Structure 1
Amino acid sequence: MLVGHSSGGGLSQFVLSSGDATVTGLALLAAIPGSGSREINSNPCMAMDLWFIPRMFFYLGHPMSPLDFTALVKQALFCTEYPLQKAREIETRMPKYESFLWRLGYTFRFATYQNVLQLIVGGTSRRLVVIAGEKDRLVTTFIAKKLASDYGDAEKHLVAEKKLDIGRDEASSVQYLEVKGAGHHFQNDLQ
């Protein structure tokens, strides 16, 4: 079972799409979609922080500049009720640098959903689950639902072409779940 959160969810899709691994199940938690992160990289960051663009220039494009101080970390990653002190504790465990090249690398399509699905072998009837935080400001529920829908469409196409046998004739093996009230880091959020 492979579980990937955020960029790790993108990396999980990339690894499977490239044919570098097989798994019995895949869980994508607030994952960057294999179709690219254009929606994630632009609109939410600017909507959350009016100083986003000036801050990027001031820090010469440093990829961690959108998370420059604790209030921004809290706003970007957690629900509004999350205590600032707890966000500060999480912030101490965050990397001080993240590769800008990696961020650019997942801006455009980097995974083919049909390839990913074909490398999820065996396992249960729920082979792929997309989990979103209801209040996620980065990978919004709209983006996560679209990711689950796109995987469902890819699965239907593979089943119709007899390239994938999901072991039943009924509903999709792709599932969408939502953590109510939670932000992007729902595994560390209040919920």
Structure 2
Amino acid sequence: MPFAPFALQWRTPFPNPPNPTPVPAGVSRTYIPTPSGPLELLSAIPSNPSPIPPIFFAHGGFGCAEIWLQWMQFFCSKGIACYAMSYRGHGKSWYPSFLRMCFTTRGMMAGDLVAGIKFVEGLERERRKRSEDVKVILVAHSAGGGLSQYILSQGLLKVHAFCMCAAVPGFGSVAVYKFWSWMIPFHFPYRLFHPRHVLATTSQVKSAFFSPQIPLSSVRIFEKLLAPYESLLWPSQMLPSFVNPTALLSNIVGWNRSASSTKPNADKLLVLAAEYDVLCTPKVLLDAAERYMKAFSDMVRRNAILEEGGESEGVRFRVVPGVGHHLMNDVEWERGAEEIFEWLQTL
């Protein structure tokens, strides 16, 4: 084959963390201090804020904070404060060595995500001059969606609302890898067990992440954002079921409206699928949504959640047309952003 395994990156980036690159006007880059190393944080703060709580974006495998830039600018223009972080080994955060990254666990990645959200909660308390907690709206993509389900199910933090955006389901992710099942037995050993063995070429990235209409030139630009190597333990630890749906829903706050509220109870969990997603397909995510709906109904029946009007299933499921797995980077990226904005206005 023309693509040799040695063309992939095996060495830790230098400098570490990598030098920062320019970001659009209105977006700033800072770093979250952690005991392991600094983690990249991008922020977009509106000049005319709306009452909607801040959005925290969590990327998936090989992703980074910069994949969210278009959506950050979109929501910031609507008056919503936006934050996006890069976990260790991604974006402009610190990088473990190749082998150390390969054996980075789900728990370690979860620690980065929790540290990022808690850091932003502190920033927002200070910015809003409030003494009480400020909870974020968590929008999480792909394996980052799986990671987010894990931290909520484990009770590691609470959020105002949660959007699973083309997310790995917490009820087992074997089905997510069916698209690659025929490639892995050959490509994994051929590329010397490198984590990017199924995302080594532009055509592979396009077929897995995007809709058919995106041009290869756009995919090549996107490829520059992908991490050079990835954890093998993080996704493998999500192959079996790892979420308690009742525990997860319990760590989304504010289900119960006050008696004076004119709004019906909100669907505080949005499961967002993409029409052309070949990994977290609409069918896979519909199954996940239905499981969370059942858990919500059980909680209502046990009075764990009060549903005065009986107007909410607690979970909203939507399929965004015309986009692939990386719906925030596809040609028609606005469609997913508009679907989320419509949902935010109901919270």
The normalised TM-score by structure 1 is: 0.93
8 Å CA contact 1:35, 1:111 repeated in 2: yes
How much has 1:2 moved relative to structure 2? 0.9
- Give the helix-richer structure, 1 or 2: 1
8 Å CA contact 2:150, 2:170 repeated in 1: yes
The question of 1:113 aligning with 2:248 is answered no
How much has 1:59 moved relative to structure 2? 2.1
1:51 and 1:13 mapped to 2: Cα distance? 28
How much has 1:62 moved relative to structure 2? 2.4
How much has 1:177 moved relative to structure 2? 1.2
Which consecutive residues of structure 1, in runs of 5 or more, have no partner in the other structure?
none
Q: Which has the larger radius of gyration?
A: 2
After TM superposition, the structure 1 = structure 2 runs for residues 39-188 of structure 1, keeping only pairs within 5 Å, are 39-41=175-177, 43-46=178-181, 50-122=182-254, 125-188=266-329
Divergent runs of 4+, >6 A: none
Identify the structure with bigger relative contact order (alpha carbons < 8 Å, sequence gap 6+): 1
Counting aligned pairs with the same residue, the percent is: 34
Aligned to 1:13: 149
Per-residue deviation, residues 134-179 of structure 1 (Å, max 9, x unmatched): 0000100101111111110110111112222245323302001111
Most deviating of 171-180 and 161-170: 161-170
8 Å CA contact 1:62, 1:100 repeated in 2: no
SS in 2 for 1:163: coil
Q: Which amino acid aligns with 1:86?
A: S
2:308 and 2:266 mapped to 1: Cα distance? 8
Q: Which amino acid aligns with 2:269?
A: L
The normalised TM-score by structure 2 is: 0.52
1:167 and 1:2 mapped to 2: Cα distance? 25
SS in 2 for 1:129: strand
8 Å CA contact 1:166, 1:173 repeated in 2: no
8 Å CA contact 1:125, 1:166 repeated in 2: no
Q: Which amino acid aligns with 2:209?
A: L
How many residue pairs end up in the alignment?
187
- Give the root-mean-square deviation of aligned CA atoms: 1.4
1:78 and 1:62 mapped to 2: Cα distance? 22
